[in-house]
Structure 1
Amino acid sequence: MEIGVPKESKDQEFRVGLSPSSVRVLRENGHNIFVETQAGTGAGFTDDDYKSVGAEIVSTPDAAWNRDLVVKVKEPLTSEYKFLQKGQLLFTYLHLAADRKLTEHLIDCGTCAIAYETVEQPGANKLPLLSPMSIIAGRLSVQFGARFLERQQGGRGVLLGGVPGVKPGKVVILGGGVVGTEAAKIAVGMGAAVQILDVNVERLSYLETLFGSRVELIYSNSAHIEAAVREADLLIGAVLIPGRRAPILVKRDLVKQMRPGSVIIDVAVDQGGCVETLHPTSHTSPIYLEEDVVHYGVPNMPGAVPWTATQALNNSTLPYVVELANLGTKALEINPALAKGVNVQNHRLVHPAVQSVFPDLVN
């Protein structure tokens, strides 16, 4: 099979769909890989690195896109819609619940679109291709939050870890899944006062085995959210409903009650976000001030650490890429996890969660 690896077009997205070591494995399986020139440069991989493992370097985006299987990191942007074709396999993060325009175009063009974030191992509610980036985004959320709390960045001037005689900053995390857990690990390590709110009591019990008394674990309801958010120096949105738009848990009226210079980082922004006042931003311009609160809404946070993120992503995606390359669409019949990843196929929107967001697009 011919496999294309385009250079990512999203603002400061330096990750790449396949690393050289992944290309080598695919070449050993008999496939031809076409990598757009400098696609891996931002992640530390040169064109020569790809050539050395058997890839062909192509000079234009269409030469990478015009292949049987296209492996990316982020969703196609409007400028890339023209490359999508009938019968083509596209394997990448899509987050269609927050992008009606892309959903409509994928239906129209006939591409078989498989989303990393909805590949799901049956019976375990595990999202193996979302998890590695969730780990990174969770850890980065506190790292970035600490930076934007600095006065020079527009924040309150709070040191999350505090100092002897001065209380630490307060980190409130909405959601105790992978993102929330990893955010809490970093926040606790910094010495912050940390609260996690979640609706799953079993998950809260599990988190108690991880953190003990170092993290305050609270059942999530509107009253508890309001009380926690008002006192937060750093609010992290870490809510995930696979395939669906994130629910709005923090309304504008509540944001108004936060202290000026507090920081909101919503990791769920690529699924629409769970804070009403937050909208997507970019690595070039990551923050804005609304209701005197600093808002950070970069949807591709792991792109800030592409060397780490590309390898972590490839560790998880490669077995599925090999299966798709070896078997084509037959892999979707054999592998239930991959089948769950299909969002659009044969001009139809097929993923139930995305269908629930766009019922008028279901035929």
Structure 2
Amino acid sequence: MKIGVPKEIKNNESRVGMTPAGVFELTKNNHIVFIQSTAGEGSGFFDEDYQSVGGIILKTMEEVYSLADMIVKVKEPVEYEYPLIKPNQIIFTYFHFASSEELTFAMLNSKAVCIAYETVEDAEGTLPLLTPMSEVAGRMAIQQGAKYLEKPIKGRGVLLGGVPGVPPGKVLVLGAGVVGVQAAKMAAGLGAHVTVLDTNLKRLRYVNDIMPSHVVTEFSSEYNIRKHIKDHDLIVGGVLIKGSKAPKLITKEMLKEMRPGTVIVDVAVDQGGCFETTVPTTHENPTYIIDDVIHYCVTNMPGAVPYTSTMALTNVTLPYVLQLANFGWEEACQKDLSLQKGLNIVQGKCVYREIIEAFEWSEKLVP
């Protein structure tokens, strides 16, 4: 199969869909891999690195799309890429369709086969291709939140770890999934007092078992959220409903109950966000302020640490890329039910129920 790896052109996205090690495995299996020139430079991989393992460097994105049977990316295609996508072409990337009806219709109109990293689901019900980026984003949420708590950036002026004689900062984590656990781990490591909320008692028991005593858990309810937002310095939203829009756990009017300079980080922004006031931002302009509350809602947080993120992503996507390349998408999805669950749009039809429900499409009106 001919596989194309274009350069990511989303704002400040420095990751790349495939490392040279991944290209080596594909060429070893007699596949042809086209890499757009300089696609890997942001992650520390250069054209000669790809050429040394059999990759073919092409100058333009247009060439990559026109020659490839399958496109392997990191982020969803942007408007410039829509007309480049061909019917029956496999697009394997993060899509997060539920957050963008425009993107969804563009991919429906392309007649491509869209397989979303974020909905590939294994037998245990986990999301193996979303997990590494969730781990990165959860850890970065604390890193960024701690920075924006600084007074020169309009934060409360709180050091999360405190110092002797001064209590530590307080971090509220909404969701005890991968993002929440990693955020809690990082915050606890800094010495902050951490509260983790979730409706899944099994996950809360897990957090209780693995975290130190200054990480506490509570059942998530509107009452408990309203109680904690009043005195926590940093709030991290890490709630995920697979393939669907995130629930709005903090409303606009609840911001008035927070102290001025509180920082909220919405890791769920790719799925529409779990704060009512969430608006997608970029690494170039990452924050905005509403009611004296700093919002950090960058849609590609792991893109700020592209070397780590690209390596972690290729580690988990490569086995699936190999299956798709070796067998074609139909046979590969028949052989591997987890990959089958990644199918979101197939040749002009939406085949993923959560997307249909997110846009409230009638079954009879599904494009």
TM category, shorter:
over 0.9
Q: 1:333 is matched with which residue?
A: 334
Q: Aligned pair 1:323/2:327, yes or no?
A: no
Q: 1:206 is matched with which residue?
A: 206
Q: 2:101 is matched with which residue?
A: 100
Identity of aligned residues (%): 49
Q: 1:231 is matched with which residue?
A: 231
Distance 2:154 2:32 in 1: 49
**Deviations 1:252-277, CA, capped at 9 Å, x for gaps:** 11111111111010000000000011
Q: Aligned pair 1:296/2:296, yes or no?
A: yes
Q: 2:43 is matched with which residue?
A: 43
2:235–2:264 contact (8 Å) kept in structure 1:
yes
2:188–2:212 contact (8 Å) kept in structure 1:
no
Question: What letter corresponds to residue 302 of structure 2 in structure 1?
Answer: P
Cα drift, residue 212 of structure 1: 4.6
Runs of 4+ displaced beyond 3 Å: none
Q: 2:174 is matched with which residue?
A: 174
Q: 1:80 is matched with which residue?
A: 81
Question: What letter corresponds to residue 16 of structure 1 in structure 2?
Answer: V
Cα drift, residue 70 of structure 1: 0.1
Unaligned runs of 5+ in 2: none
Cα drift, residue 85 of structure 1: 1.3
Q: 1:10 is matched with which residue?
A: 10
Which secondary structure state, in structure 1, belongs to the residue aligned with residue 281 of structure 2? coil
Cα drift, residue 346 of structure 1: 2.1
Which secondary structure state, in structure 2, belongs to the residue aligned with residue 173 of structure 1? strand
Which secondary structure state, in structure 1, belongs to the residue aligned with residue 314 of structure 2? helix
Which secondary structure state, in structure 2, belongs to the residue aligned with residue 213 of structure 1? coil
2:83–2:110 contact (8 Å) kept in structure 1:
no
Q: 1:187 is matched with which residue?
A: 187
Distance 2:228 2:113 in 1: 43
Unaligned runs of 5+ in 1: none
1:230–1:254 contact (8 Å) kept in structure 2:
no
Which secondary structure state, in structure 2, belongs to the residue aligned with residue 197 of structure 1? strand
Cα drift, residue 358 of structure 1: 2.4
Distance 1:64 1:147 in 2: 39
Q: 2:125 is matched with which residue?
A: 125
Q: Aligned pair 1:260/2:260, yes or no?
A: yes
1:155–1:261 contact (8 Å) kept in structure 2:
yes
Number of residue pairs matched by the alignment:
362
Distance 2:238 2:192 in 1: 18
Cα drift, residue 214 of structure 1: 2.3
1:118–1:243 contact (8 Å) kept in structure 2:
yes
Distance 1:272 1:232 in 2: 23
Q: Aligned pair 1:310/2:322, yes or no?
A: no
Q: Compute the RMSD of aligned alpha carbons.
A: 0.9
User: What TM-score do the two structures reach when normalised by structure 2?
Assistant: 0.97
Distance 1:236 1:65 in 2: 38
Q: 1:356 is matched with which residue?
A: 357
Question: What letter corresponds to residue 345 of structure 1 in structure 2?
Answer: V
